[in-house]
Amino acid sequence: MVVGGGISGLSAAWFYRKALGPDVRVLVLDNHDDFGGHAKRNEFRHEGRTILAYGGTMSIETPFPYSHSSKALLADLGIVPSTYARYDRSAQVYAGLGQGAFFDKEHFGADRTVAGMNRRPWAEFFAAAPLTPAVRADLTRLYTEKVDYMPALAPEAKVAALQRMSYADFLLKHARLRPESLPWFAGMAFRNNMRVDTCPAYTAARGGRSPGFAGMALPHPIEAEAEHFHFPDGNASIARLLVNRLVPGVFGAAALDQETIVRAPADYAALDRPDNKTRVRLGSTAIRVEHLGTPTVLTEKAARVVYMQDGKPRSVTGANVILACFNNIIPHIVPELPEGQKAALRYPSKVPMQYTNVLLRDWKAWKALGVRSISAPNGYHTSASLDTAMAIGGYASAMDPAEPVVVHMVRNPNQPGLSRKDQNRAGRADMLATPFETIEREIRAQLQRMLGAGGFDARRDILAITVNRWPHGYAYTYDTLGDPDMPDAQRPHVIGRRPLGRIAIANADAGAAAFTNVAIDEAERAVQECLVSRGLT
């Protein structure tokens, strides 16, 4: 029994079946009306076409290398990251368009979208922005000068100091940025969505794109990406390929691959057929997970999962349970866990994230403004980007400015001044309390302000909106500002994921990193623990 039908839960089903053979029976329960968890597919239908978008997990990407097991899983699913260049047409389709920034009148004095960010010389870029002469000079200086702002410190001492101060403090106190220039950094999301006031300066430096570090001669290299592959629906394609391999009939009989999965329709009625060995049961929220008798006894009926379906409690028993759901909820559903482990599971606070997809009638205004993505430092959404242009498996996104296109907008509600975890909690509350009408109004106003100068008309050009709210988004990762320094073995996620008899714990939370490969690796570890619990290794 697997609680959670995200990438981790589906991978757990996959590894368990791999270990015990195709006849083993596996039931995956998920509270949502879809499988995939954060790896969520959005579909728009317009004039006979289905237009895809990603509602959560965007790509195979990570600063950590994919393990042998996660690479092998991708290969088994017919995904070959090295072939990605075949499908991504963005360089041709968006030739000449780049990144822009929207300066708003509330913070910068006038509304203006300025193209050429990261392309034009910074002096020229900021000269085109509605900034006061002092802020313009200040930002240009910061982006162009190569100064060691901590000349008295040896390299390792610099690293230690930068780990203990926020990027905002580094900018203001060491790089001597004017406070009036700080709004430019307000919308930036650093590693794992930390903000300028919660991101350690050293983490900002390692990201490689934050200004201020060019003359600091820091000893460690910039982090690089290990693998990259993006599907039009993001990593939902991985979840769909897993279901294709696990549950016969959902996607027909054939094993699909990285191309054929993209347009394949799913038969949701086939997810939970009694004659299938692996079943996925949606709309099923686990509320209690418990052992039946002594967990060490070798029995097939060792544990029970009680879940709610259609408002009624139901239960199912089996040899093992893997909790691939999310750490904060586990103490509530497994009361027999030791208190110390429950405290460890309560420790993280996931990042609230909103991925808004807007279908536009065309992208002529973007072309006219010379941008394919716009960062909006103080906007309701802090960025808006044209979808990656892709041709894969017979699916093609917009290749011409006259065609309908998906615009992907990101909002990360937070509350500057609080600790990172408290900002996550405040953002979550904001997200849950905001009605769709408010979000729609904000989207319309924001796109109009950003694109109006290019001829955009929100009333005419917006065809559809899908808002994906992830109050519990990215798995919590530790940072050198907000978390105590301790050996890995004592970290809450390591204590939290300890197995209890026949109950094992997966999910990206168990690896304290918000990445697909981590979700897969944690599934494999949990499966190994299940096998050990039954004396099967």
Ligand X SMILES: Cc1cc2nc3c(=O)[nH]c(=O)nc-3n(C[C@H](O)[C@H](O)[C@H](O)COP(=O)(O)OP(=O)(O)OC[C@H]3O[C@@H](n4cnc5c(N)ncnc54)[C@H](O)[C@@H]3O)c2cc1C
Binding-site ranges for ligand X (CB under 6 A): 3-9, 29-32, 37-39, 56-59, 61-62, 285-286, 324-326, 329, 333, 353, 355, 470, 473-474, 507-508, 514-516, 519
Nearest residue to 395 via CA among 383, 407, 409, 406: 406
Two tokens, residue 120: 């034009």
Nearer to ligand X, 308 or 426 (CB): 308
Nearer to ligand X, 408 or 449 (CB): 408
Nearer to ligand X, 9 or 377 (CB): 9
Output the smallest distance, CB 90 to ligand X, in A.
Answer: 16
Output the smallest distance, CB 340 to ligand X, in A.
Answer: 22
Nearer to ligand X, 1 or 182 (CB): 1
Output the smallest distance, CB 496 to ligand X, in A.
Answer: 14
Please tell me the distance from the alpha carbon of residue 432 to that of residue 423, in angstroms, as a whole number: 14
Q: Label the pairing between strands 353-360 and 98-103.
A: unpaired
Output the smallest distance, CB 380 to ligand X, in A.
Answer: 17
**Is residue 460 a contact partner of residue 494, using CB atoms and an 8 Å limit?**
no
Nearer to ligand X, 363 or 474 (CB): 474
**Is residue 393 a contact partner of residue 240, using CB atoms and an 8 Å limit?**
no
Angle at 399 between CA 398 and CA 403, to 5 degrees: 50
The per-residue DSSP string of 456-524 comes to --HHHHEEEEEEEEESS-SPP---TTTS----GGGSHHHHHT--BTTEEE-SGGGGTS--HHHHHHHHH
Please tell me the distance from the alpha carbon of residue 155 to that of residue 217, in angstroms, as a whole number: 7
Output the smallest distance, CB 385 to ligand X, in A.
Answer: 13
Nearer to ligand X, 451 or 514 (CB): 514
Output the smallest distance, CB 519 to ligand X, in A.
Answer: 4
Strands (E), 394-440: 395-396, 405-411
Nearer to ligand X, 211 or 427 (CB): 427
**Is residue 172 a contact partner of residue 179, using CB atoms and an 8 Å limit?**
yes
Neighbours of 445 (CB within 10 A): 13
Output the smallest distance, CB 287 to ligand X, in A.
Answer: 7
Contacts of 162 by beta carbon, 8 Å cutoff, 6+ apart = 170, 200, 201, 202, 205, 218
Nearer to ligand X, 31 or 113 (CB): 31
Please tell me the distance from the alpha carbon of residue 240 to that of residue 266, in angstroms, as a whole number: 8
Nearer to ligand X, 158 or 408 (CB): 408
Output the smallest distance, CB 320 to ligand X, in A.
Answer: 16
Output the smallest distance, CB 21 to ligand X, in A.
Answer: 24
Looking at residue 171, the DSSP 8-state letter turns out to be: I
Output the smallest distance, CB 388 to ligand X, in A.
Answer: 12
Distances (CA, A) of 11 to 118, 141, 234, 243, 259: 39, 49, 17, 10, 20
Output the smallest distance, CB 350 to ligand X, in A.
Answer: 8
> What sections of 356-434 are H helices per DSSP?
364-369, 420-433
Output the smallest distance, CB 218 to ligand X, in A.
Answer: 26
Q: What is the 3-state secondary structure (H, E, C) of 53-85?
A: EECCCCEECCCCCCCHHHHHHHHHCCCCHHHHH
Two tokens, residue 447: 């796109």
Beta-bridge mates of residue 41: 54
Nearer to ligand X, 59 or 258 (CB): 59
Please tell me the distance from the alpha carbon of residue 405 to that of residue 360, in angstroms, as a whole number: 5
Nearer to ligand X, 5 or 100 (CB): 5
Nearer to ligand X, 166 or 375 (CB): 375
Please tell me the distance from the alpha carbon of residue 1 to that of residue 472, in angstroms, as a whole number: 23
**Is residue 470 a contact partner of residue 56, using CB atoms and an 8 Å limit?**
yes
